[in-house]
Structure 1
Amino acid sequence: MIPAASALARAGHEVLVACVPQLVEEFTSAGLKAVAALPDQAECWAEITDTGHDQVIKVVVGQRLLARGYPELRKVAAWFEPDLVLRDGMEFCGCLVAEQLGIPHVAAPSGAVNTLAPAAIAPLLNERRAEFGLDVQDDPLAIYRYGRIDSLPPRYSFAARGIPRAVAYRQPEASDRCEPLPSWITELDPGKPLVYGAIGVALPTAAASRDGGKASTIPADPVRALAALVGALSELDCTAVVSTGGVSFPRAGVPPHVRLVEHIAQPLLLQTVQLFVTHGGYNSVREAVRAGVPMVVAPLFGDQLDNARKVAELGLGEQATAPSEIAAACRKVLGSSENLARARHAQRELLALPPVDEVARRLALLASAR
Structure 2
Amino acid sequence: MRVVLTCLPFRSHLVPLLAPCAHALRRAGHRVAVACAAGMADVVAECGLEHLPLPRVRTLDALLRDPAVSGSPGMPEHAEATGSDRTTVEARRAPGPLTRTFAGPLAGVLADDLIGAAARWRPDLVVRECNEFGGYLAAERLGLPHAVLDIAPHSALNLPFVRGAVDEQRVRLGLDPVDDVRHSYRTLVAGVVPQEWYPPELRTARTYRPVPVAGADRLPAEFADLPGDRPLVLAGFGTLAPVLIPELAAVQGLLVEALGRVRCTAVVALGSDPREWRGPRPGNVRLVERTPQRALLHRADLFVSHGGFGGVFESLLAGTPVVALPLFSDQPDNARRTAELGLGAEVDLGTTSPAALARVCAEVLGDRAVRDRVERMSRSLRAAPDLDALAADLVAHAR
- TM-score, length of structure 1 as denominator length: 0.88
Structure 1 pair 357–255 and aligned structure 2 pair: CA distance change class (3 A): same
Deviation at 1:98, TM superposition (A): 0.5
Matched with 2:15 is none
- Contiguous gaps of at least 5 residues in structure 2: 1-17, 75-91
Distance 1:244 1:54, change over 3 A: closer
Answer yes or no: is 1:45 the counterpart of 2:39.
Answer: no
Match of 1:264 among 291, 294, 297: 291
Alignment counterpart, residue 96 of structure 1, candidates 120, 131, 137:
137
| Cross-structure match for 1:60 | 102
User: 2:357 and 2:37 mapped to 1: Cα distance?
Assistant: 36
Cα deviation, residue 202, structure 1: 0.9
Alignment of 1:197-276 (within 5 A): 197-204=235-242, 206=243, 218-219=244-245, 221-246=247-272, 249-250=276-277, 253-276=280-303
Q: Provide the C-alpha distance between the structure 2 equivalents of 1:74 and 1:303, rounded to a whole number of angstroms.
A: 29
Using the TM superposition, give the Cα deviation of residue 161 of structure 1 relative to its aligned residue in structure 2, in angstroms.
Answer: 5.6
Aligned to 1:134: 175
Check whether the contact 1:196–1:275 (CA below 8 A) recurs between aligned residues: yes
- 1:124 and 1:234 mapped to 2: Cα distance? 46
User: Is this contact kept in 1: 2:72–2:245, CA < 8 A?
Assistant: no
Say whether residues 1:84 and 2:101 are aligned partners. no
Contact 1:297-1:308 within 8 A present in 2 as well: yes
Deviates more, 1:95-104 or 1:183-192: 183-192
In 2, the alpha carbon distance for the partners of 1:180 and 1:49 equals 35
| CA drift at 1:356 | 0.4
CA offset digits 1:79-111 (Å, max 9, x no partner) = 112111100111111101111111211111233
1:192 to 2:219 alignment: no
Tell me the residue number matched to 2:184.
143
Aligned to 1:110: 151
**Following the alignment from structure 2 to structure 1, what is the Cα–Cα distance between the partners of residues 235 and 168?**
42
Indicate the percent of aligned positions where both proteins have the same amino acid. 34
Q: Look up the match of 1:5.
A: 22
Instruction: Give the whole-Å Cα distance in 2 for the aligned partners of 1:112 and 1:150.
Output: 7
Deviations 1:57-78 (A, max 9, x none): 4222223x23422211110112
Picking from 205, 210, 214, the partner of 1:171 is: 210
Q: Which moved more, 1:43-52 or 1:118-127?
A: 43-52
Scaled by the length of structure 2, the TM-score of the pair is: 0.82
Task: Please give the residue correspondences for 1:283-322 in structure 2 after superposition, counting only pairs within 5 Å.
Answer: 283-322=310-349
Q: Distance in 2 between matches of 1:297 and 1:171?
A: 23
1:118 alignment partner AA: L
> Aligned in 2, Cα 1:251/1:189: closer, same or farther, shift over 3 Å?
farther
Amino acid across the alignment from 2:69: W
Using the TM superposition, give the Cα deviation of residue 21 of structure 1 relative to its aligned residue in structure 2, in angstroms. 2.5
Using the alignment, how far apart are the partners of 2:337 and 2:383 within structure 1? 21
d(CA) in 2 for partners of 1:187, 1:344:
26
Contact 2:188/2:397 (<8 A) preserved: no
| Farther off after superposition, 30-39 or 74-83 | 30-39
Taking the aligned partners of 1:317 and 1:269, their CA distance within structure 2 comes to: 18
Alignment deviations for residues 235-265 of structure 1 (CA, whole Å, 9 cap, x no partner): 1111111111225552674122111111221
Partner SS, residue 323 of structure 2: strand
- Opposite residue 311 of structure 1, the aligned amino acid is T
1:203 counterpart letter in structure 2: A
Matched, 1:327 2:358: yes
Separation in 2, partners of 1:239, 1:92: 42
- Counterpart residue identity of residue 358, structure 1: A
Matching residue of 1:211: none
Q: Which structure has greater helix proportion?
A: 1
Instruction: Give secondary structure in 2 for the equivalent of 1:90.
Output: coil
The alpha-carbon deviation at position 117 of structure 1 amounts to 4.2
Tell me the secondary structure at the aligned position of residue 197 of structure 1.
Answer: strand
Shift of 1:306: 1.3
Question: Which residue of the partner structure matches residue 152 of structure 1?
Answer: 193
How many residues end up aligned between the 2 structures? Answer: 352
Question: Cα distance 1:79–1:264, how it changes in 2: closer, same or farther (>3 A)?
Answer: same
Question: Partner residue of 2:43?
Answer: 26
Structure 1: runs of 5 or more not aligned: 207-217
**Counterpart secondary structure, 1:19:** strand
Structure 2 partner of 1:75 = 116
* Partner Cα separation in structure 2 for residue 47 and residue 223 of structure 1: 16
Q: How far did 1:147 drift?
A: 1.9
Please report how far the alpha carbon of residue 115 of structure 1 lies from its aligned counterpart in structure 2 after TM superposition: 4.8
Secondary structure of the residue aligned to 1:53 is coil
